[in-house]
Amino acid sequence: MLQETTFLAPTSWYVILSATLFIMGMAGVLIRRNAILIFMSVELMLNSANLAFVAFARSFMDITGQVFVFFVITVAAAEVAVGLALIVAIFRTKQSIDIDELNTMEG
């Protein structure tokens, strides 16, 4: 028989972790110049929101938060597909994915 867990971390711990991940992701987007790394940071932000959703869902004993996470994962997958395709397209025309070099249009 499985041992029941006696210790459940309080929701606030999860929320603090998710906020930390979120800020790391945000900092990554703002600091990094490589499109792929920006992209990974965005994924980190989405997943930090997922973690917060799951933690809140547990504290409310409400499944909606977890269902939301499924949808977010799906959306993130679609975003990855489109984003990588766009990165490939820009690499083919410019031979670079440094976003500082995306300056064909100015004004």
Partner 1 sequence: MTGFEAAAGDLPLVLQIVIPIVAEIGLLILLLVVLTMDLFTRSTRREAVGFVAAVGMLIIMGLNLVISFAWVNHPFFVENTVLGGMIRFDMLATIFRTMILLAAALACLIATDVEGLGRAGEFYAVTIAATLGMCLMSASADLVMLFLSLETASISLYILAGFLRNSETSSEAGIKYYLFGAFTSGLFLYGLSLIFGFTGTTNIYAIAEPLAALLDEGATSGVLGVVAALLLILVGFGFKISAVPFHFWTPDVYEGAPTPVTAFISTASKAASFALLVRVFDVIWPDAAAVYWTGLLAALAVITMTLGNVLALVQSNVKRLLAYSSIAQAGYTLIGVVALNQSTFGVAAVAFYMFMYVLTNIAAFTVVIVVANQIGGDDSQDFAGLHRRAPGLALAMTLALLSLSGVPPLAGFFGKFFLFSAAVDAGYVWLAVIGVLNSIVALYYYLVLIKVMWVDQAVEEGPLSFSTASSLVLWVTGAGMIIMGTVAGPWLGWAITAAENLTAMVP
Site residues, partner 1 (CB under 8 A): 15, 18, 22, 25-26, 29, 35, 38-39, 42, 45-46, 48-49, 52-53, 55-56, 60, 62, 64-65, 67-68, 71-72, 75, 78-79, 82-83, 85-87, 89-90, 92-94, 99, 102, 104-105, 107
**59 CB-near residues (< 8 Å, 6+ apart):** 11
Least distance between partner 1 and beta carbon 22 (Å): 6
Least distance between partner 1 and beta carbon 89 (Å): 4
Q: Which of 33, 36, 37, 44 is nearest to 88 (CA)?
A: 36
By beta-carbon proximity to partner 1, the closer residue of 9 and 89 is: 89
SS3 for 46-71 is: HHHHHHHHHHHHHHHCCCHHHHHHHH
By beta-carbon proximity to partner 1, the closer residue of 9 and 85 is: 85
What is the rounded distance in angstroms from the CA atom of residue 8 to the CA atom of residue 19?
A: 19
